[in-house]
Amino acid sequence: MKRLLILIILICFSNAYCQKFEKLALTPPMGWNSWNKFGCDINEDLIRQTADAMVSSGMKDAGYAYINIDDCWHGERDSLGFIHPDPQRFPSGMKVLADYVHSKGLKLGIYSDAGWKTCGGKPGSRGYEFQDARTYAEWGIDYLKYDWCNTEKLNAEGAYLTMRNALYAAGRPIVLSICEWGSNKPWEWEKNIGHLWRTTGDIYNCFDCIKDHGTWQSWGVMKILDMQKGLREYAGPDYWNDPDMLEVGNGMSVNEDRAHFSMWCMLAAPLIAGNDLRNMSKETLEILTNKEAVAVNQDSLGIQGFKYSEKDSIEIWFKPLVKGDWAMCTLNRGKQPYKFSFDWKNEKVIDDFAKRETKFAEIIYSIRDLWLKKEIGTTKEVLNKDIPGHDVLIMRLIKM
């Protein structure tokens, strides 16, 4: 068996037979990640409790599947170079933890880094890619977030290709989440390497601001949204633009959380919650488990939404859906309420990328408000709605 593994590794170095595991992310991945809320303050009890909460809260039923451990789970490498979890934080070991998560009908994700050290200063995977991939496979890992700290002079495409090949050689299908921050335009070369790739730096739980850390910055929701311009053509089933994890439930207002979640649904972005699932408000849970909004995100066409128009504080976005339906989201980026009016017969929505158009003059659509969860008319009548500040109106236009 060891000889076979060595042979596979040698072949993979030539890129002759190694590839990305396919059909692991035909819709954007949904799950939870420890970093946004807990940072390095993690242990196996937190992960078990979070898995329990994902099931009991209804999030699993809404489509969330991954429990992802971010940075700082690492212990040391042994004399042969194999990585082990921190014995104080994860005394039972990762295999036992993975078995527990799997027993809940969920999947376990883990974190590493393409550099010598992770962003938190723990052992990275540089030079140990095949060993680490084999270890993750033996533990029963289902998802790998692979970061880009401490990667001086590394070629990004080559580094992520190496980990892709290592995962394939290990033999266990594992989703590869590329966290390269968009620095080297991964959308241009990662389609056959990873299943999703970060398009920006880190998100920050603020609606429209920047947090300056000195040598780097993190970005509010609207700043991240603006950075997605021009990227929709690179996304699709099994390869997704990733504008970073959700900050829903981490301190923004309910309106802002609703707008954040709605826009990530319109972007066909991975829905990776980053709050404390064990202690959620009713409003946070309602946002994260809105199955009609999630259905927009998980639509099998896999087409990312686009901005149709903008005026004053208002942006109108459209996203083509299956069976001729559309999602339409009106985003109020301003702080004040806005009286929104939309006369369908005077609007012509054409999506050249998806080769779709609404044809409002010929086709009547029923309009369903996805937050009110009710029908609010058809496209025969002018739509008039008040949209609160930092909020959205998201609708499904159902072809009649």
The residues, any chain, with a CB within 8 Å of residue 78's CB and separated by 6 or more, are: 84
Measured from the Cβ of residue 176, the count of other Cβ atoms closer than 10 Å reads: 25
The answer to whether 156 touches 187, Cβ cutoff 8 Å, is no
In sequence order, which ranges of the chain are alpha helices (DSSP H)? 2-13, 35-38, 44-56, 59-62, 94-103, 129-139, 156-170, 221-226, 254-266, 282-288, 291-297
User: In whole angstroms, what is the distance from residue 145 CA to residue 33 CA?
Assistant: 10
Q: What residue has token string 């998806």? A: 354
Which residue numbers are catalytic?
Answer: 147, 202
User: In whole angstroms, what is the distance from residue 234 CA to residue 238 CA?
Assistant: 11
The residues, any chain, with a CB within 8 Å of residue 174's CB and separated by 6 or more, are: 21, 24, 133, 136, 137, 141, 142, 143, 144, 167
